[in-house]
Amino acid sequence: MTDLETRLDQALKADAAPARDPMFRIQVMERRGRAALRRRLIAACGLALGAAMAGALGLAVTQTVLSGTQLLAATAAIAAALTAVLAVSHLGGGAVVRGLAARAAMTVRILPRPRPWF
């Protein structure tokens, strides 16, 4: 190579983009994964806290109103309902509910508007 070609090659390499850093990409993916895990954990803890509060409130109400076999049946129903809520949220039922809500909202928007009566 001549001196001119060497200088031209060096000038072109000076403006080149830096080499890709695979460790940086891995660190970015790790940060994103940790942030997503943190969000899911906070949501699950909030849901569990809400379910516990609702269960305690329901149990307190049923104990003051019901007695005997009715109390046992009501306690079992409350436990089953709370378990179902937690299971549906854990298995991805939230996306299904949001999809149904969006579909219902779209249906309401498509319906013709009622004419004013005046």
Taking only the tens place, the pLDDT of each residue in 64-89 is 887 788 888 888 888 888 788 777 76
Type of residue found at 1: M
Radius of gyration of the chain (CA): 30
34 lies in a domain? Answer: yes
Count of domains observed in the chain? 1
Query: What is the spatial distance between Cα 72 and Cα 79, in angstroms, rounded to a whole number?
Result: 11
For the chain, residues with pLDDT lower than 70 are 1, 16-17, 89, 93-94, 107-118
8 lies in a domain? Answer: no
Containing domain of residue 86, as a range? 18-110
88 lies in a domain? Answer: yes
